[in-house]
Amino acid sequence: MSANGSGATPFVDVRAVSKWFGDLQVLKRVDLAVREHEVVCLIGASGSGKSTLLRCLNLLERVEEGEIVVDGQPLTGPERVDVNALRRKIGIVFQAYNLFPHMTVLQNVTLAPRKAGGFSRDGAEGQARAMLQRIGLEDKADEYPDRLSGGQQQRVAIVRALAMGPKLLLLDEITSALDPQLVWDVLGLVRELAESGMTMIVATHEMGFAREVADKVCFLDGGSILEEGPPEQIFGEPREPRTREFLSRVLAGGRMG
């Protein structure tokens, strides 16, 4: 089924996507290509359209114009898309973690594999415990989310998304709600995922992290991708004045890491 392994055709192909919230155009003819095993970071001010673009990719938001193809499957065409099947191969992690507060950590991680992934209870729990062990949270398996720190909750949310075995992971400003000392725990996990070859699209304010893990960085401004390129170029010699302005403001705020 996979459209490619070699990287000839992109795994995610976004073509001229536009979206409006009422009269406000939040995405303006966005083009984006992401190859398998590639990590793409989306940077830009709040409201520039990073989150909306991510949410369009797993159809949490409807795309009004343009085309999105993921893994050879058009999401925006006239044919009906099995959204549930699509979302099983696209994981998303949110800024506010969105763990299920009435379930333990283990239940959070195993819910989707058991109910939508065809796993047995034992199979799902075995997998979940192994994953929690890898991130050092196996002793929290039976705790409820409100007993965990923000960083721990966010790492559980990442594991929850990974438990479905997604081929693509979308990270939506996952460290923005965290205390600075907790940010690195979460970014460390993302770094490991990047090294293991997970295809990821990461909306982030952590420029240092973007520079380190990204294969490609896209600067969004007012709903369109104003500039994209390898991190050395975007952070080293940005071409667009708006990119320079944004980066110098971020630098002044001390977020280069």
Q: Which stretch binds other proteins (CB under 8 A): 20-28, 38-46, 111-119, 209-217?
A: 111-119
Please state whether beta strands 168-172 and 199-203 pair in parallel, antiparallel, or not at all (unpaired). Answer: parallel
Among 5, 22, 78, 101, binds other proteins (CB under 8 A): 101
Q: Pairing relation of β-strands 199-203 and 39-43?
A: parallel
**Residue 81 within binding range of other proteins, rule CB under 8 A:** no
- Tell whether residue 85 is a contact of other proteins (CB under 8 A): yes
- Using the minimum distance from each CB to other proteins, give the nearer residue, 121 or 239: 121
Alpha carbons 209 and 194: distance in angstroms, whole number: 12
Does position 60 interact with other proteins (CB under 8 A)? The reply is yes
Cβ 92 to other proteins shortest distance, Å:
5
Residue number, 71 or 227, with CB nearest to other proteins: 71
Q: 213 — phi, psi (to 5°)? A: -100, -20
Do residues 13 and 68 make contact, with C-beta atoms less than 8 angstroms apart? yes
Q: Does residue 115 interact with other proteins by CB under 8 A?
A: yes
Query: Which is nearest to 39 in space by CA: 142, 149, 186, 168?
Result: 168
Size of site (CB under 8 A) for other proteins: 26
Quick one: 111 or 250, whose CB is closer to other proteins? 111
DSSP secondary-structure letter at 232?
I
Q: Is 116 in the site for other proteins (CB under 8 A)?
A: yes
Phi–psi pair at 209, nearest 5 degrees: -65, -45
251 forms part of the interface with other proteins (CB under 8 A): no
87 binds other proteins (CB under 8 A): yes
Q: Which stretch binds other proteins (CB under 8 A): 33-41, 89-97, 184-192, 205-213?
A: 89-97
96 binds other proteins (CB under 8 A): yes
- Residue 61's region, left for phi above 0, alpha for psi from -120 to 50, else beta, is beta
Nearer to other proteins (CB atom), residue 6 or residue 102:
102
Which of 19, 28, 50, 88 is in the footprint of other proteins by CB under 8 A?
88
Cα distance from N-terminal residue to C-terminal residue, the chain: 40
Task: Supply the minimum distance, in Å, between the C-beta of residue 231 and other proteins.
Answer: 27
Q: CA quadruple 222, 204, 70, 36: dihedral positive or negative?
A: positive
Sorted by sequence, the CB contacts under 8 Å of residue 246 that are 6+ apart come out as 43, 44, 45, 219, 221
